[in-house]
Amino acid sequence: MRREIRFSGFGGQGIILSGFIVGKAATLGSGKYATLTRSYGPESRGGACSANIVIEDIPNGYPEVEKPEVLVIMSQEAYETAKKDLTDDMLIIVDEDLVIVDPAIKVNVIKAPFTRIANELGKKLVANIVMIGFFTGATGIFDKSIILDSVLGSVPAKFKDLNVKAFEKGYELGLKVPRRVAA
């Protein structure tokens, strides 16, 4: 079985870290093989970036994401770039406060307020952790504990409580949407 997942947004949102967390959960927590490829502009903050994860039961023969099963979009620029390649069999998850989806496009789109929730928690920087929690609850691809362990093993210990709160808020919200991906 092969899964392709893409997180996209702009530098400073924790997009690359999100891909790392999911890839780590796949390998260390689920016993799968995972490859993470990253793409980002020359700017460290504000430039376009993406994290592409390929997960397989056997060693990856081709590490590039060609057609993601799940596409998470955290910026309008990332949406505009991806818009031409969206298909009905993809699950598209967007930050509803940062991405305006063209209503003429008929695809599986789930909107959630990742950045708003992070701001309510007092730290905009945990929007990616809110998103990972939502991704986990909405897709059911990974067991909650496996992803949460990967989050906690990837963020500074002094922010553990904040990251747990961010993950839980996203996860609970993700459980409220109908699952559209085979676990």
Residue-wise pLDDT tens digits, 73-93: 999 999 999 988 898 889 999
Residue 128 counted as domain residue: yes
Q: What is the mean pLDDT of the segment spanning 142-165?
A: 96
Q: What is the mean pLDDT of the segment spanning 96-110?
A: 90
Average pLDDT, the chain: 92
The answer to whether the CB of 32 falls within 8 A of the CB of 82 is no
Cβ burial, residue 141 (10 Å; 0-12/13-18/19+): buried
Residue-wise pLDDT tens digits, 30-55: 999 999 999 876 655 667 899 999 99
Q: What is the mean pLDDT of the segment spanning 173-179?
A: 89
Residue 108 counted as domain residue: yes
Instruction: Please provide residue 162's backbone torsions phi and psi, each rounded to the nearest 5 degrees.
Output: -60, -45
How many separate helices (H) and strands (E) can be counted in the chain?
A: 6, 6
pLDDT computed for residue 1 by the predictor: 86
Residue 182 counted as domain residue: no
pLDDT computed for residue 42 by the predictor: 60
This prediction has a pTM of: 0.93
Residue 181 counted as domain residue: no
The answer to whether the CB of 72 falls within 8 A of the CB of 51 is no
Residue 121 counted as domain residue: yes
pLDDT computed for residue 54 by the predictor: 96
Q: What is the mean pLDDT of the segment spanning 98-126?
A: 93
Residue 112 counted as domain residue: yes
Residue 180 counted as domain residue: no
The residue segments making up the domain with residue 118 are 2-175
Domain count, the chain: 1
Spatial strand order of the sheet with 70-73 comes to 33-40, 48-56, 2-10, 70-73, 91-95, 108-112
CATH of the domain at 169: 3.40.920.10
